[in-house]
């Protein structure tokens, strides 16, 4: 009997060791064995976080309506490099991530910094900059008549920000196959690609990103044949071949300031402004996803599915628990 007990104790000890090893491995992969993201993470430590961020975003968007898509884009760009950890906010010289070619035109840093200042006065050292970015994107969407949703929080700020790490950002000139690979590498599906591309329902782009598509799509010149022939003259008028590359045009023709599925309908009919959006028609799966939102009997809504995808995106590579830090200012490591 004593021998049996000894064996049982040995087995129990081995099981415990195995559990600890698994927990450590899980910690390395997911951030920590504890402290994963959760809605209401700051309910006890900083209950005013939502109101402070939403009030500031409201001020910013009422002052500049373009700030809604700007803050949404900032969240996307942060999450696609090193995960949703505020790495894009660091401003420590030319090698900082924010200076990467793939982040051209990304703005909104001052809004995040201002929110951080207010939060530091109310609950110092508690709320991460990464969480502020995620919350600000949610409030920006709502300010553009989009859905309001609950944001799981508990992210910590990353300790790395390097321009070289942004080399795999999705690009407007990427093929649909490359876009799907880049999204898959982040744990996102073809459906997520369609829905997150739908974020282009609000905002503008620069003519700089249109030059190749309008005038040099083929060697020797020419326009992208997927552009609706009724739309091509309008695009060329807005972005002349020798015109200002910084001039801006709406990405969602006819609905650039309202969050809705109009962008998908435009893409389906050749009215996509960005080449990466137009490429959603080049794959059977992504095209089927787009078409599904216009089936009369589809029980799912674009807005509800978009929420699922952006919440999913907001969990990419998060640092939680003892990983990372809570920055005092968002533009610099502690």
Q: Which candidate, 321, 312, 326, 265, places its Cα nearest to that of 134?
A: 312
In the residue annotation, 269 being an active-site residue is answered as: no
Measured between alpha carbons, how far is residue 89 from residues 60, 99, 158, 261, 313 in Å?
18, 10, 10, 30, 18
Work out the number of other CB atoms within 10 angstroms of the CB of residue 241.
11
Which are the contacts of 174, defined by CB distance < 8 A and separation ≥ 6? 182, 276, 279
Q: What is d(CA 53, CA 193) in angstroms, rounded to the nearest whole number?
A: 27
242 annotated binding-site participant: no
Across 106-209, the runs of DSSP E, i.e. the strands, are: 204-206
31 annotated binding-site participant: no
Backbone torsions φ then ψ of 205, nearest 5 degrees: -130, 165
157 annotated binding-site participant: no
Q: Which of 75, 77, 103, 269 is catalytic?
A: 77
Work out the number of other CB atoms within 10 angstroms of the CB of residue 223.
17
83 annotated binding-site participant: yes
Half-sphere exposure of 260 (CA within 13 A, CB side): 12
7 annotated binding-site participant: no
78 annotated binding-site participant: yes
Judge contact between 332 and 228, C-beta under 8 A.
no
Q: What is d(CA 275, CA 80) in angstroms, rounded to the nearest whole number?
A: 19
200 annotated binding-site participant: yes
Decide: residue 268, CB within 10 A, 0-12 exposed, 13-18 middle, 19+ buried: middle
301 annotated binding-site participant: no
Judge contact between 162 and 97, C-beta under 8 A.
yes
87 annotated binding-site participant: yes
Residues that constitute the known binding site for Ca(2+) = 78, 81, 83, 85, 87, 97, 201, 252, 260
Catalytically active residues are 77
Q: Which residues are annotated as a binding site for substrate?
A: 170
**Binding site as annotated, residues for heme b:** 200
Annotated binding-site residues read 78, 81, 83, 85, 87, 97, 170, 200-201, 252, 260
């Amino acid at each position: 009997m004593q021998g049996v007990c000894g064996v049982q104790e040995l087995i129990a000890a081995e099981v415990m060791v195995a559990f600890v090893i698994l927990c450590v491995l899980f910690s390395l992969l997911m951030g920590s064995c504890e402290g994963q993201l959760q809605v209401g993470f700051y309910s006890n430590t900083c209950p005013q976080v939502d109101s402070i961020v939403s009030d500031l975003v409201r001020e910013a968007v009422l002052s500049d309506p373009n700030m809604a898509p700007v803050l949404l884009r900032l969240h996307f760009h942060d999450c696609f490099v090193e995960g949703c950890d505020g790495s894009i906010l660091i401003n420590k010289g030319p090698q900082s991530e924010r200076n990467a070619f793939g982040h051209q035109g990304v703005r909104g840093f001052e809004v995040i910094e201002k929110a951080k200042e207010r939060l530091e006065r109310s609950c110092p050292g508690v709320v991460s900059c990464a969480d502020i970015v995620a919350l600000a994107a949610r409030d920006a969407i709502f300010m553009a008549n989009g859905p309001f949703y609950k944001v799981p929080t508990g992210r910590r700020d990353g300790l790395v920000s390097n321009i070289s790490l942004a080399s795999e950002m999705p690009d407007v000139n990427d093929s649909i196959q490359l876009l799907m690979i880049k999204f898959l590498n982040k744990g996102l599906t073809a459906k997520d690609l369609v829905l997150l591309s739908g974020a282009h329902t609000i905002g503008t782009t620069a003519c700089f990103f249109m030059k190749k598509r309008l005038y040099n799509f083929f060697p020797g010149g020419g326009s992208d044949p997927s552009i609706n022939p009724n739309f091509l003259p309008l695009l060329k008028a807005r972005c002349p071949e020798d015109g200002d590359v910084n001039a801006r045009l709406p990405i969602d023709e006819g609905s650039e300031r309202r969050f809705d599925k109009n962008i998908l309908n435009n893409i389906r009919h050749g009215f996509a402004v960005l080449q990466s959006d137009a490429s959603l028609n080049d794959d059977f799966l992504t095209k089927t996803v787009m078409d599904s939102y216009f089936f009369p009997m589809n029980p799912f809504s674009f807005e509800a599915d978009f929420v699922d995808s952006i919440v999913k995106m907001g969990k990419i590579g998060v640092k939680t628990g003892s990983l990372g830090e809570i920055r005092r200012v968002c533009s610099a490591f502690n």
